Amino acid sequence: MTLSVARRFGNIEESATFAVADMVKRLKAEGQPVWDLGGGDPDFDTAAPIIRAAEKAMEEGFTHYVASRGIPELRKAIARKLEDDNGLEYNPDRDIIVTPSAKHALYITLLTILDPEDEIVIPAPSWVSYEAIVNLIGATPRLVGLNFDDGYRITLEALERVASKKTKAILLNSPNNPTGRVMTKGESEVVAAFAREHDIFIISDEIYEKIRYDDRDHISLGAMDGCFDRTITINGFSKAFAMTGWRLGYLAGPAHVVSEAVKAQQHTVGCAGSFTQRAAVAALEAPPTIVTDMVEEYDRRRRIVAEALDVIPGIECPTPEGAFYVFPRVSGLGFDSSAAFSSWLIGEAGVAVTPGSAFGPGGDGHIRISYANSQQVLREAVERIGEAVARR
C-alpha cells in the first residue's frame, strides 16, 4: 500500500524555471557545454557595501531571531523608499512585513486574502508561480490571456471576461516577467477602475521596478485614485540589488491585512534572516549607481539579444521595456509547441531556455530568454540558435 499525498498537488506542476536550472546543472555535471539562458538570477555580484554590512552584523553577533515583521531600521528604510519612489505612505510599525523572499511575501498575502471559494484575476503571460501558489491555497486563478500582436496590452474588456461575483483580487507584475512589458499609465487606470468597480484587492508585484529602459515610468498601483486601501505591494532585493541568494523581500499594505499576514509569517518561517536584513538596510542607503550601473548593462544586453533573434527567420523578438527577459515568438519555426522547440534547442544548440507555455495563456509559441548573463555568453548563445535554426 502506498500512502497518497494531498490532492492539492494534482494540478500543480514543478516550477519550469527551476526545472530548467536543474537540467542545466545536470548537463554541466556530465561534461556537456550548455549556454544557460533559462534563469532569472542576475550574474552580477552583490555590491561590496551590502556584503560588508552583513559581515559586520555577524561579527557583532546579530545572528538570532528577530521580530516577525522585520527589524525596525529596515522597516523604516522600506517606508522611506516607498514614499520617495512610489508615493506610498506606510507606517513602518503597522503596514510592512519583511519576508524571506518576495515569493514568500506573495504567498502569505494570497493566503491572507483568499478563501477557497474566491477567484483571483491574473493577466498572462505571467510568472510561473502565480497560478501554482493560488492553487496551493485552494482558491481559483482566472488567467486573462493577453495578445502578443497587441503588445500584451491590458484592457477592461479582457479583465471583465473573467470577472465574476467570486472575484476577490487581481494580481499584476510590472515590469513583467516574462514579456518585459512595462504597464502604461492608461493600463494602470484600467486596473484601478476594474478594482474599484468590483471592490477587490490589488496585488502589485514590483520586484523588477528598478529595471526599466528608455525613461519609462514605473507606476505603483497603490498610488492610483481609490486604490491605496485595497493594494498590497510586493517587492524585494533579489533583482535590483543582485541579492537572489539572500532571500529577502517585503510586503506593504493596509494594516488590517498586514496584521493577519504576520500570523502566516509567524507560523511558517517565523522571521526573515537577521544579518541579511542589516544588509538590506545598506542596500537601500547605498548610492543609486549600485543599481543604475547594472541597468545600463542590461540595456546593452537586451539590444544585443533582441536584435540578433529578430533577424532569424521564423522568430519575432520585440525589444523589452523592462526586467531582463526577452519573450520572442517562435511559432513561425513550425514546432508543435514551445516545449518541443526548447527541448530541440538544448539538443541541437546546447542553449537552455524556458518554454513559453510555462507562463500561461498567451505563452505557448514563445520562449523566455534571460539576458542576465555576460555579453559574450549572450552573443555565443544567440549565434548558436541562429545556426541551429538554419541547419534545420
CATH number at residue 158: 3.40.640.10
**Domain range spanning residue 23?**
7-45+289-391
Residues 218 and 306 in one domain: no
Residues 39 and 88 in one domain: no
What pLDDT sits at residue 21?
Answer: 73
Last residue of a domain, one of 270, 285, 300: 285
Q: Are residues 118 and 190 in the same domain?
A: yes
pLDDT beyond 90 at 20: no
Confidence check: pLDDT of 366 > 90: yes
Residue 357: band (very low, low, confident or very high) from pLDDT cuts 50, 70, 90: very high
Q: Are 204 and 58 within one domain?
A: yes
Summarize the confidence of residues 315-333 as an average pLDDT. 97
Residue 384 in grid coordinates: 548558436
> Global pTM?
0.94
In a domain, 1, yes or no: no
In a domain, 205, yes or no: yes
Please identify, among 253, 285, 317, the residue that sits at the C-terminal boundary of a domain.
285
pLDDT band at 341 (very low <50, low <70, confident <90, very high): very high
**Cα–Cα distance between 154 and 147 in angstroms, integer?**
9
Overall average pLDDT of the 220-231 stretch: 98
Query: Poorest-confidence range of 28-37, 97-106, 349-358?
Result: 28-37
CATH number assigned to the domain comprising residue 295 = 3.90.1150.10
Q: Are residues 41 and 52 in the same domain?
A: no
Q: Would you state the pLDDT for residue 347?
A: 87
Contact yes or no for 309/302 (Cβ under 8 A):
no
Reference 201, options 189, 214, 192; nearest CA is 192
**Residues 113 and 201 sit within 8 Å (Cβ to Cβ):** yes
* CA-angle at 35, arms to 33 and 40, nearest 5°: 140
Domain end among 285, 319, 342: 285
- Clarify whether residues 275 and 362 are in a common domain: no
Q: Are residues 38 and 54 in the same domain?
A: no
Task: Say what the pLDDT of residue 266 is.
Answer: 98
229 is written with which cell numbers? 486601501
- Checking if the pLDDT of 114 tops 90, the result is yes
240 and 385 part of one domain: no
Residue 161 lies in a domain: yes
Higher pLDDT pick, 225 / 6: 225
Asked whether residue 93 is assigned to any structural domain, the reply reads: yes
Statement to judge: residues 57 and 29 lie in one domain: no
Instruction: For residue 328, tell me if it sits in a domain.
Output: yes
Mean pLDDT to the nearest integer, 61-75:
98
Q: What is the DSSP letter of 68?
A: T
pLDDT tens per residue across span 154-195: 999 999 999 999 999 999 999 999 999 999 999 999 999 999
Q: Give the residue from 326, 309, 293 showing the smallest Cα distance to 379.
A: 309
Q: Is 319 part of any domain?
A: yes
pLDDT at 340: 92
State the chain's mean pLDDT as an integer: 95
Residue 2 forms part of a structural domain: no
* Count of structural domains, the chain: 2
pLDDT at 26: 81
| Whether residue 211 sits in one domain with residue 90 | yes
Residue of 343 and 243 predicted with greater confidence:
243
Helices (runs of H) and strands (runs of E) counted in the chain: 12, 12
Least confident of 215-224, 262-271, 279-288, 349-358: 349-358
Can you tell me whether residue 121 is helix, strand or coil?
strand
What residues have CB less than 8 Å from 139, skipping those under 6 apart? 110, 114, 115, 116, 117, 118, 119, 120, 168
- Residue pLDDT, tens place only, 30-46: 878 888 998 889 999 99
Compute the average pLDDT of residues 258-287. Answer: 98
Residue 310 lies in a domain: yes
Beta bridge partner(s), residue 144? 123
Assess whether pLDDT exceeds 80 at residue 18.
Answer: no
Q: What percent of the chain has pLDDT over 70?
A: 99
Shared domain for 136 and 12, answered yes or no, is no
Does one domain contain both 94 and 229? Answer: yes
